[in-house]
Amino acid sequence: MNNPVNISTRQILALAIPAIVAGIAEPLISITDLAIIGNMEGETTDALAAVGLVGTFLSAIIWTLAQTKTSISSIVSNHLGAASLKRIHELIPQVAWINIGLGILIYLVTAPFAGWIFQLYEAEGSVLDICVEYYQVRALGFPMTLSAFAIFGIFRGLQNTSWAMIASLSGATVNILLDLLLVYGIEGWWEPMGVLGAAYASLAAQATMLVIAIYFLYRHTRFSLKISWWKPHPRLRKHLYLTANFFLRTAAINIAIYLSYRFANSYGVEEAATHAILMNVWLFFSFLVDGFANAGNAIGGKLLGSKDVASLRYLARTTTWYGVAVAGILSLVCFGLYDFIGKRFTDDEVVLGLFRDSFWIVLLMQPVNAIAFVYDGIFKGWGEASYLRNLLFGVTLLGFVPTIFLGDYWGGQLYAIWSAFFVWMILRSVVLFFKFKSRLRAME
């Protein structure tokens, strides 16, 4: 039977697969640092807890501020669907330079107060010292990462995720190679730098991604970073409005992450280290499955611009099916490699025991995550920033917060934290699914 739609599964996968690879770049940098540092000689539990905390904190900030990528992708894809890209040529460089300025501002606001920030997460002693040292170098990459992500958003809006994939893969490769060189050193050639070496390797990876992103922008698009006039573009207000709402939406995510680390650190350094591993693995899986959401974001915005309801329904069904399938396969593979995965991060028997006891929750929730991420991506492509903002605050305050406090009261510790995340994702997926159905009925 022929589908009355104007997109194909091949088109969806052509966007989703490169987006999966591109999306995991930042969490891959953090998870690589975590694995390599966890296998250094000597006492590594404190370093593991610190790097895991900073890696999650960085991913959360970048996840928040990279919403500029989502808003510009939505605007570009809408104009692509309406065949009016010329109207936003002046908008692109303004967005890019705003991101550079925002990255510099975030560094100046957070780096000098890194000690105070991580004390809020209950980090103390050696863990706190390592957090500050590692963060103050890693945070130098904010302007580069946010600029690269803005350019990735342009590519996604143009229905191309391959260029971002190439840039991300290149950055991840640089990070792994330099991690091995700088963290462990080479006897007789290079002294081991430990945690600080991992930070510099990550910084080089971020620079690599930006340089390659700029190359593709100039080589394969008609956009540039040169501002020919300083008057704000008429669409800049919409971009800033979408970004502000996406920022507030992601602030709710950061509330959940903050509470999870605050509770984990209060249980002890082994629990903190275990939670750091679980959280970075969860973020890695989330960014990976989020590739299908990126496809929904890019195509959904274009289809909304052309008012193609049948194709939107097909898009949601197809991306959901593939997202759930990939998440399910990923979970099954990880169940089969359960002990192997834990030992890649540490040889501390207490941490490994805690990891074995709780990792199954992270794996079990992956298919649910896929559903939430896919519909979230489509709504982002539609520019539904205020709705997504309200939804995230609602499920965080009514789902995550009560679950984690009740679980802690009953002595659940890591179970309490990850049960709260599970409830949080279930609520997101259910609400978005029914909202999407309602929105399509209203469009018909």
Ramachandran quadrant class, 7 (left: phi over 0; alpha: psi -120 to 50; beta: rest) = beta
Contact (CB, 8 A) for 324 and 405: no
Rounded distance, CA 430 to CA 397, Å? 16
Contact (CB, 8 A) for 70 and 294: no
List 186's β-bridge partners, or say none.
190
In the block, tokens 């692509």 appear at 80
Rounded distance, CA 375 to CA 300, Å? 10
For the chain, what is the total number of helices (H) and then of strands (E)? 19, 0
Rounded distance, CA 109 to CA 103, Å? 10
Contact (CB, 8 A) for 176 and 32: yes
Note the pTM of the prediction, 2 decimals: 0.72
In the block, tokens 């694995």 appear at 35
Contact (CB, 8 A) for 375 and 316: yes
**What is the reported pLDDT for 73?**
74
Contacts by residues 83-90 (CB-CB < 8 Å, ≥ 24 positions apart): 85/222, 87/235, 88/233, 88/235, 89/222, 89/223, 90/227, 90/228, 90/229, 90/233
Q: Which two tokens stand for residue 216?
A: 């593709």
Find all residues with CB under 8 Å of 198, minimum gap 6, and list them: 33, 36, 37, 51, 134, 179, 182, 183
Rounded distance, CA 166 to CA 117, Å? 34
Contact (CB, 8 A) for 193 and 134: no
Rounded distance, CA 35 to CA 392, Å? 31
List 442's β-bridge partners, or say none.
none
Supply the DSSP string of 329-382, one letter for each residue: HHHHHHHHTHHHHHHTT---HHHHHHHHHHHHHHHHTHHHHHHHHHHHHHHHHT
**What is the reported pLDDT for 420?**
96
Which segments in the chain show pLDDT lower than 50?
1-3
Rounded distance, CA 148 to CA 213, Å? 6
Contact (CB, 8 A) for 380 and 302: no
DSSP single-letter state for residue 190: B
Find all residues with CB under 8 Å of 291, minimum gap 6, and list them: 16, 17, 18, 19, 20, 21, 22, 23, 161
Burial label for 393, CB within 10 Å (0-12, 13-18, 19+), is middle
Task: For 40, list phi and psi in degrees, rounded to 5.
Answer: -70, 160
What's the pLDDT tens digit per position in 359-415?
999 999 999 999 998 888 888 777 777 888 889 899 999 999 999 999 999 998 999
DSSP single-letter state for residue 3: -
Rounded distance, CA 84 to CA 80, Å? 6
Burial label for 219, CB within 10 Å (0-12, 13-18, 19+), is exposed
Beta strand ranges found along 103-231 (DSSP E)? none
Contact (CB, 8 A) for 149 and 158: no
CA 214 to chain centre: 21
Q: How far is CA 106 from CA 103, 109, 141, in A?
A: 5, 5, 11
Contact (CB, 8 A) for 205 and 175: yes
